[in-house]
Chain A
Amino acid sequence: MQDTTFNEIADLALRYTGQAFKASKAYLMEARLSTISRREGFATLDDLAHCLRARPNPRFEKEIAAALTGKLTGFFGDRDLLERIVTHALPERLKQSKTGRLRVWCAGVSTGEEAYSLALRLSELTDTALASAEIEIIATDISDDCLATAKAGTYGHFEVQKGLSIHRLMKNFMRLESGQWEISQALRAPVTFKPHNLIEEAGGLGHFDIILCRNVLSDMTPNMRTKAAGHIAAQLLPGGLMFSSSTETLTGLVEGLNPSRDVRAAYARNGNDGAVEAA
Chain B
Amino acid sequence: MKHCLIVDDSRVVRTVAGRIVKDLSFETSEAGDGAQALAQCREKMPDAILLDWNMPVMNGLDFLRALRREEGGKDPVILFCTNENDAEHIAEAIRSGANEYIMKPFDADIIESKFSEVGLI
Taking Cβ atoms with an 8 Å cutoff, the residues of A that contact B are 157-158, 161-163, 165-167, 170, 175
In the complex, which residues of chain A have a beta carbon less than 8 angstroms from the beta carbon of B91? 170
Q: How far is the CB of B119 from chain A (nearest CB, A)?
A: 11
Determine the residue in chain A with the shortest Cβ distance to B107: A158
Collect the chain B residues with CB atoms within 8 Å of residue A161's CB. Answer: 102-103, 106, 110, 113-114
Given contacts A158-B109, A175-B87, 17 further A-B contacts (CB under 8 A): A157-B85, A157-B103, A161-B102, A161-B103, A161-B106, A161-B110, A161-B113, A161-B114, A162-B109, A162-B110, A162-B113, A165-B100, A165-B118, A170-B87, A170-B91, A170-B94, A175-B86
Knowing A161-B102, A161-B110, A162-B110, the reply to whether A170 touches B117 (Cβ < 8 A) is no
Pick the most buried of B102, B103, B118: most chain A CB atoms within 10 A of its CB: B103
User: Please, which residues of chain B bring their CB within 8 A of the CB of A167?
Assistant: 94
A166-B110 contact, Cβ under 8 Å, with A161-B102, A175-B85? no
Asked if B94 and A166 make an inter-chain contact with CB atoms under 8 angstroms apart, the answer reads: yes
Q: Does B53 contact A (CB under 8 A)?
A: no
The A-contacting residues of B in range 87-121, CB under 8 angstroms, are 87, 90-91, 94, 100-103, 105-107, 109-110, 113-114, 117-118
What is the total of A-B residue contacts with beta carbons within 8 Å?
32
Enumerate chain B interface residues (CB-CB to A < 8 A).
85-87, 90-91, 94, 100-103, 105-107, 109-110, 113-114, 117-118
Question: How long is the Cα–Cα vector from A208 to B107 in the complex, in angstroms?
Answer: 38
- Complex interface: chain A residues within 8 A of B85 (CB): 157, 175
Whole-angstrom distance between the Cβ of A80 and the nearest chain B Cβ: 13
Complexed CA–CA distance, A161 and B114 (Å): 8
Which chain A residue shows the least CB distance to B114? A161
| Distance A166 CA – B94 CA, assembled complex (angstroms) | 9
Residues of B within 8 A of A163 (CB): 113
Closest 3 CB pairs of A and B: A166-B101, A165-B117, A161-B110
| Given A161-B110, A161-B113, A161-B114, A166:B100 Cβ within 8 A | yes
For A170, the chain B residues whose CB sits under 8 A away are 87, 90-91, 94
Q: How far is the CB of A79 from chain B (nearest CB, A)?
A: 9
In the assembled complex, the CB of A17 is this many whole angstroms from the nearest CB of chain B, namely 28
* Closest A residue, CB atoms, query B102: A161
In the assembled complex, the Cα of A166 lies from the Cα of B92 at a distance in Å of: 12
Chain A residues with Cβ under 8 A from B107's Cβ? 158
A112 to B105, CA, bound (A): 24
Task: Kindly provide the distance from the CB of A218 to the nearest chain B CB, expressed in whole angstroms.
Answer: 22
Shortest CB-to-CB span from B21 to chain A, Å, is: 16
In the complex the two chains form, what is the Cα distance from A167 to B95 in whole Å? Answer: 11
Given the complex, which residues of B lie within 8 Å of A165, measured CB to CB? 100, 117-118
Most chain B C-beta atoms within 10 Å of own C-beta, residue among A165, A166, A167: A166
Chain A: CB-nearest residue to B98: A166
* Cβ distance B51 to chain A, nearest Cβ, rounded Å: 13
Of all chain B residues, the one with the shortest Cβ separation from A165 is B117
Chain A residues near B86 (CB, 8 Å)?
A: 175
Give Cα A158–Cα B110 distance, bound, in whole angstroms: 7
Please, how many angstroms separate the alpha-carbon atoms of A96 and B91 in the complex?
42
Looking at B85, B87, B117, the one whose CB has the most chain A CB atoms below 10 A away is B117
Q: Using Cβ atoms and an 8 Å threshold, which residues of chain A touch B114?
A: 161
What is the CB-to-nearest-CB distance from B38 to chain A, in angstroms, rounded to a whole number? 23
Report A53 CB to chain B, min CB distance, Å.
Answer: 40
* Interchain nearest-CB distance for A6 vs B (Å): 31
Which residues of chain B are within 8 angstroms of A175 by Cβ–Cβ distance? 85-87
Q: Name the residue on B nearest A166 (C-beta).
A: B101
Residues of A within 8 A of B118 (CB): 165
